[in-house]
Copies of this chain bind each other. A is one copy, B any other.
């Protein structure tokens, strides 16, 4: 096993979450400090150990500071479906805030480092730094976007396209937290894991990767995946990375943040929208009572 995967990133461990949230909206120093403070405590886990177990009560949510993890479910007959890859800077188990029981398990794919988050810290933090609450909500919404793309992949893309799509998505996500070089990144994952994410068998993943290599789209050097033809990959994947960007909060978010921040008064734009409900009815409108 690789020891300190950490050094592979240009972003320090505690800065990864902030880096990721900054995609959504810039944070000021105070907020960054608070996030840093949230992550003081570190827990190290061996690759393969569950940090959350399906059906069991949640304990905490976590910030994944280093290493890769997966969110997965096991089926009765023994197969596994991976729901999502969790990368450094991602939250783990935010749903713990709303549900008593875990819907799926989370395990490290590599050795990982996490910081547990106490619920009260999140709550008080969100009250003190309204942007933080918004950023957490945004983060959940981004995860949902990723799941939507996953559904599209599984439902409508062929093996070849699915893999291409996954590679591009991982690249984009890793870029944000500083884990990529120009045209390559470490993919610390067996072909079986890929299959369990992509809804394919190992054998078929193997053959499909071979095809991607033969056609000159990618190359591999150990765990390092080298992208040889980005346009080619994007074309075959039908990839449009916007779902990972979402770089501007909606006006509602802005209004929300300002509203719950006692220091900021509610300003005009919000009110202006209130009267526009009639026009909001989309085409195809039949009647309004």
Binding site for B on A (CB under 8 A): 41-46, 48-51, 57-60, 73, 75-77, 79-81, 83, 95-101, 103-104, 111, 116, 118-120, 123, 127, 134, 137-138, 140-141, 144-145, 147-148, 150-152, 154-157, 196-199, 238, 242-243, 246, 248-253, 255-256, 259-260, 270, 273-274, 277, 280-289
Contacts and interface: CB of A to CB of B under 8 A. Distances in A.
A235 to B, nearest CB: 10
A6 B174 CA distance: 48
Contact of A199 (B147, B156, B255): B156
B148 A151 contact: no
Given A97-B137, A140-B140, A274-B118, A103 B43 contact: no
B98 A58 contact: no
Contacts of A282: 45, 49-51, 59
A246 B97 CA distance: 13
A281 B115 CA distance: 10
A97 B252 contact: yes
A120 B256 CA distance: 8
Most chain B CB inside 10 Å of its own CB: which residue of A134, A156, A256 = A156
A250 B285 CA distance: 41
A81 B134 CA distance: 29
B250 A100 contact: yes
Given A60-B280, A274-B120, A199 B97 contact: no
Contacts of A48: 284
A50 to B, nearest CB: 7
Contacts of A288: 41-44
